[in-house]
Amino acid sequence: MNLPRLLFRYPGGKFYALKLLRPFWQNTPHDEYREVMVGGGAVFFDKPKVRHNWLNDKHEDLMTTYRTVADPELRGRLVELFEKEVATKERHAEMKEFIPSNDFDIALKFFYLNRTSFSGKTRSPSWGWRPVRSLPPNRWKERIRPCGEKLEDTKMTCLDFEDVIIAPSLGASTLLFVDPPYFLAKQENHYSESFSENDHYRLAAVLEKTSHKFFLTYDDCKEIRELYSFARISQNRFLYRIDNSRNRGGKRKYGNELVITNYDHEKALEC
Ligand SMILES: C[S@@+](CC[C@H](N)C(=O)[O-])C[C@H]1O[C@@H](n2cnc3c(N)ncnc32)[C@H](O)[C@@H]1O
């Protein structure tokens, strides 16, 4: 299976863990799929859609951009504008100052900064587009068009995770993918939405009660192992691009990550 082409560059994105994560949805029949904290949506863009699909993230500009790209007419306008766009330090500085007055402009600004900033960070972004290595603006349509088409007919919301987890099933069997910020990492540099210690505890409490199936990824630490002692925990090792790759020559390193579920992903279940 090929790796998907993603719409965004996203800090903490699960692109490098896709091979490891596939068995968790492939062996688990479901007719409703929810990504509770979608971010760059690496898993959504990798997996075939099912009957009901729901993407959520607390990050408003991110979800506004997804909705804009999902709309065929707005998507066409974005592609047209980016055909004539330039990736320069000056234009990046101009975009940083630009104050959007509608959803389309929010998407325009978000996408431009995501594609041209270091590590795709749109919060306090610094110039990071590199000739040859980075995709030029006239090729951004190669991401916008296929991703936008996949996003059509998908429910997209900007809610707190708890509202998405507790919502009743629309189909016979619902599968949730939950990818919260790491428990031990310093989040303030990565995400617009901060995730407090209490949010980690609140997430565990709501997942313990849910009747939906879930798979959840976390950094491997004793606090998380204790918090999810009610569930199945598998420890995994995968290659990922380190955050400050600028200082390490763009290398990748191995990370340990937990995948936590309330079902047996190695056994095909009846839907
Ligand atoms: C690790 S990232 C998800 C990365 C994603 N799986 C990917 O492949 O790109 C965590 C996400 O949680 C979102 N988030 C933070 N607090 C949230 C909340 N209370 N409810 C929903 N989403 C939240 C952040 O905006 C961020 O996009």
Residue ranges per structural domain of the chain: 1-59+158-271, 61-153
Q: Can you give the pLDDT at residue 218?
A: 95
Our mutation pick for probing the ligand 1 site, out of 58, 119, 166, 203, counting the most ligand atoms within 8 A of Cβ, is 58
CATH class of 1-59+158-271: alpha beta
Single-letter residue type at 236 = N
pLDDT in tens, 184-220: 876 555 666 789 999 999 999 999 999 999 999 999 9
Please count the other Cβ atoms lying within 10 Å of the Cβ belonging to residue 205.
11
Least confident window among 91-95, 142-146, 196-200, 237-241: 237-241
User: What's the 181 CA to ligand 1 centre distance in angstroms?
Assistant: 6
Domain 61-153 has CATH 1.10.1020: yes
Residue 200 in contact with ligand 1 by CB distance below 6 A: no
The pTM of the whole model exceeds 0.85:
yes
Tokens of 104: 């389309």
Q: Residue 249: is its pLDDT beyond 90?
A: no
CB-based contacts of 73, cutoff 8 Å, min separation 6: none
Span 133-149, average pLDDT: 96
Q: Can you give the pLDDT at residue 2?
A: 74
Q: Can you give the pLDDT at residue 251?
A: 59
Which atom of ligand 1 is found nearest the CA of 177? Answer: 6
CB-based contacts of 111, cutoff 8 Å, min separation 6: 8, 65, 69, 78, 82, 140, 144
Q: Can you give the pLDDT at residue 137?
A: 97
Q: Residue 267: is its pLDDT beyond 70?
A: no
User: What's the 37 CA to ligand 1 centre distance in angstroms?
Assistant: 4
Which letter, b or e, does each residue of 121-135 get, where b requires 16 or more Cβ atoms within 10 Å of its Cβ? bbeebebbbeeeeee
Residue 120 in contact with ligand 1 by CB distance below 6 A: no
Residue 160 in contact with ligand 1 by CB distance below 6 A: yes
Q: Name the 3-class secondary structure at 104.
A: helix
Torsion angles phi and psi, residue 41, rounded to 5:
65, 35
Q: Residue 271: is its pLDDT beyond 50?
A: no
